[in-house]
A and B are shown apart, each in its own frame.
Chain A
């Protein structure tokens, strides 16, 4: 009964390094989302995938790429990390227009 699983939970990167944040859900949900959360900014949508094989930009897509690998997995890639990408990243999934379920988050620090 895992729900939405994000890896890693914590990560420190140097400026210019790349990394991929992984997200997997076991609820057979169609839609998956990536958000970043900064103090006082709420959850800002980076990218979302309404179904397997489709992805769309959200509010803050610059500096990120995504891949919907299959129905279960949705990854977020930072090609060249910048200090401005220091944040907590949340992955979420849902079916239809109902409740979105969230992972526990990835705390990323770029130095």
Chain B
């Protein structure tokens, strides 16, 4: 069983829609939760970083962590065609091991 599960999609939505991306995990030691965005043929880049449970908002992006359910989410409001990319969740504990989900390929249609 993978430590981090993420629906690979693909997910296609119209411009302006609210997008919800999710990951579940099994390792209770995970405390640091991240969302990365990856454009084609590029390395991933950090989008959001959250420590422990709670919400964090940055512009059109909101990250949520529910440690009791071992479930994290990323919401994108007013989605734009430039948001089309692969989104990967990632998490780690204090042991420095950094584990990623499978990534969700997202397309925003004009």
Q: Is A83 an interface residue (CB 8 A)?
A: no
Number of interface residues of B (CB under 8 A): 28
A44 contacts across to B, CB distance below 8 A: 100
**Looking at the complex, which one of A43, A50, A98, A103 makes contact with B100 (CB distance below 8 Å)?**
A43
Q: Which range contains the number of A residues in contact with the other chain?
A: 20 to 34
| A interface with B by C-beta (< 8 Å) | 4, 31, 33, 35, 40-45, 48, 50, 56, 58-59, 90, 92, 94, 97-100, 102-105
* Further 7 A-B residue pairs, CB within 8 A, beyond A41-B102, A97-B96, A100-B98: A33-B98, A42-B88, A42-B101, A43-B44, A48-B97, A97-B32, A100-B34
Q: Does B99 contact A (CB under 8 A)?
A: yes
Residues of chain B within 8 A (CB-CB) of A98 are 49
B60 at the interface (CB under 8 A from A): no
- Contact check: which of B42, B88, B96 meets A104 at CB < 8 Å? B42
Taking a contact as CB atoms under 8 Å apart, the answer to whether A58 and B92 are in contact is: no
Residues of B within 8 A of A (CB): 2-3, 6, 8, 31-32, 34, 41-46, 49, 51, 88, 90, 92, 94-103
Contact (Cβ within 8 A) A102 B97 = no
CA distance A103 to B88 in the complex (A): 16
Q: How far apart sit A31 and B65, CA to CA, in the bound complex (Å)?
A: 24
Q: State A99–B88 Cα separation when bound (angstroms).
A: 13
Q: How far is the CA of A64 from the CA of B5 in the complex (A)?
A: 24
Which single residue of chain A is at the shortest CB-CB distance from B97? Answer: A48
Cβ–Cβ contact A40 & B8, under 8 A:
yes
Contact B92 A102 (CB under 8 A): no
